[in-house]
Amino acid sequence: MTQPGCRGPGDKKMDSVVVHYQEIALKGNNRPWFVARLARNIREALKGLDAGEVRVLMGRIEVLVGNADREMLRERLGRVFGIANFATAGRAPLDVDIIATRLLEDLGDREVSTFRVSAKRADKRFPLSSPQIEREVGGRIKEAKGWTVNLAHPELTIHVEALTNEAFYYFGKDPGAGGMPVGTSGRVVCLLSGGIDSPVAAWRLMRRGCRAVLVHFHSYPILSRASQEKTRELSKLLAKYQYHSRLFLVPFGEIQQQVVLAVAPPLRVVIYRRLMMRIAEAIARRQKAQALVTGEVVGQVASQTLENMASINSVVSMPVLRPLVGMDKDEITAEAQRLGSYTTSIIPDQDCCTLFTPRHPATKARRVDVERAEAGLPIEEIVRSAVEAAVIEDFTFPEIESP
Ligand code: ATP
Ligand code: MG
């Protein structure tokens, strides 16, 4: 017979991960839907790792580690939006003796001088209050280990969470990616240039729960294929956060040649941008996306003045979101490095917007001038044929090996 608290032969140590969410806990009536979405995203994120079940419990989600590589599991969970923090945990029946026994077993020969137990009750029907659990479990650890309790600055915090039928315990938490689960805030179309800013802008909206459809304008074969390769890499990277990325590669070179024939050099950048926005909007409508996203920053380059932004905005009737609008370049760069896009973004390429444009484009393009210049262009036809010529590529994370 096994003693109470000892594990049976099939019971592995610390084989759960408890996932906590925060912001989504506040979402009132939508809460079950948010949580189900988060659980679904976690399953997607862990595909191919041979992890166990993902279970929705009271106020948290449990992931069974199964046969997954723990480091990879941690890395993948660390990218899932909507997670506040997560912890590798052990599970025990709701009995302080058993909890303490298992916990001591899993602490192994770990030595600290001070500790505290921090308990939470998800189910208030559990007969012991949180302070009582803390005292009881803490007392047993103190007795067994001889460690001192220090509530203010413990070297080790031992967490115990009592649910309806079981308890979790764990010794440390990993911070989650925060934000909201991808798919809970609708869809946006992000204009992805291959530079530093736009992938960060897309990532920021994904972190707010949006699925990002990516649109890149390239001038191949007038310019090299480099920008397309970069945006493919970036789409693949962004798929690590949203599991599926769809990239539209829109040929823009011929359109630019048309612009060159009709528009004086200083206005070309603004006109390119206005055309890009119209084409992106047409793609957004087909993809059922509700907003456009760019990596523009006020004052960063000549084309990004308030006047030019107004001019660029005025041709579309959906919101244009600019999540980086007030950031400094070094802040954006730091975020690109954290996200992992920076090394791809700095690979040299030729930006299509510099094609046939002067070094000093108009910073305050006047509306009448812009509209007069565009009058010579078959705008609707340009937009229609650009959408038709777009090549769609899909990227999935994790990449599924074809059989
Ligand atoms: P980025 O680093 O994102 O390229 P940037 O500082 O180079 O930004 P611009 O080149 O002026 O600034 O581009 C501003 C925004 O316009 C980009 O963030 C992107 O959203 C969009 N954009 C520019 N060029 C393209 C392109 N070729 N394809 C798709 N979107 C583009
Ligand atoms: Mg750019």
Between CA 41 and CA 80 the distance in angstroms is: 7
Burial of 352 (0-12, 13-18, 19+ CB in 10 A): buried
Which residue, by CA, sits nearest to atom 16 of ligand 1?
294
pLDDT of amino acid 338: 96
Q: Report which bound ligand comes closest to the CA of 198.
A: 1
pLDDT of amino acid 13: 80
Q: Report which bound ligand comes closest to the CA of 322.
A: 1
CB atoms within 10 A of CB 4: 10
CB atoms within 10 A of CB 359: 7
The rounded Å distance from CA 351 to ligand 2 centre is: 6
Q: Phi and psi for 192 in degrees, rounded to 5?
A: -110, 115
Q: Find where tokens 């400094």 sit.
A: 328
pTM score > 0.95 for this model?
no
Which residue, by CA, sits nearest to atom 31 of ligand 1?
193
* The pair of three-digit structure tokens given for residue 349, joined into one six-digit string: 């390429």
pLDDT of amino acid 6: 54
Which residue, by CA, sits nearest to atom 13 of ligand 1?
296
The secondary structure element, H or E, covering residue 77 is helix 70-77
3-state helix, strand, coil in the chain (%, to 5): 40, 20, 40
> Residue type for 42, please?
I
The low-confidence residues of the chain, meaning pLDDT below 50, are 1-4, 9-10, 402-403
pLDDT of amino acid 40: 97
Which of 235, 197, 192 lies closest to 352 in space, CA to CA? Answer: 192
Ligand 1 shell residues, CB under 6 Å: 191-193, 195-198, 215-217, 276, 294-296, 300-301, 303-304, 351-353
pLDDT of amino acid 399: 83
Give the ligand 1 atom nearest the CA of 303: 11
Supply the DSSP string of 207-275, one letter for each residue. Answer: HBT-EEEEEEEE-TTTS-SHHHHHHHHHHHHHHHHHSEEEEEEEE-HHHHHHHHHHS-GGGHHHHHHHH
The secondary structure element, H or E, covering residue 393 is strand 391-396
Give the ligand 1 atom nearest the CA of 300: 6
Q: Report which bound ligand comes closest to the CA of 227.
A: 1
Q: Find where tokens 């990616």 sit.
A: 177
pLDDT of amino acid 303: 73
CA-based max dimension of the chain: 90
Which residue, by CA, sits nearest to atom 25 of ligand 1?
193
List the shell of residues around ion ligand 2, using CB closer than 5 Å: 193, 195
Give the ligand 1 atom nearest the CA of 200: 3
Residue from 189, 192, 193, 296 to probe ligand 1 pocket by mutation (most atoms less than 8 Å from CB): 193
Q: Report which bound ligand comes closest to the CA of 195.
A: 1
The rounded Å distance from CA 66 to ligand 1 centre is: 43
Give the ligand 1 atom nearest the CA of 293: 20
> Residue type for 212, please?
A
> Residue type for 221, please?
P
Residue from 188, 189, 192, 198 to probe ligand 1 pocket by mutation (most atoms less than 8 Å from CB): 198
Strand partners, 132: none
Q: Report which bound ligand comes closest to the CA of 301.
A: 1
The rounded Å distance from CA 135 to ligand 2 centre is: 59
The rounded Å distance from CA 296 to ligand 1 centre is: 7
pLDDT of amino acid 386: 98
> Residue type for 230, please?
K
Q: Find where tokens 């209050």 sit.
A: 129
Between CA 58 and CA 61 the distance in angstroms is: 8
Mind listing the domains of the chain with CATH numbers? 16-175 (3.30.2130.30), 187-396 (3.40.50.620)
Q: What is the 3-state secondary structure (H, E, C) of 304-318?
A: HCHHHHHHHHCCCCC
The terminus-to-terminus CA distance of the chain in angstroms comes to 47
The rounded Å distance from CA 24 to ligand 2 centre is: 34
pLDDT of amino acid 401: 54
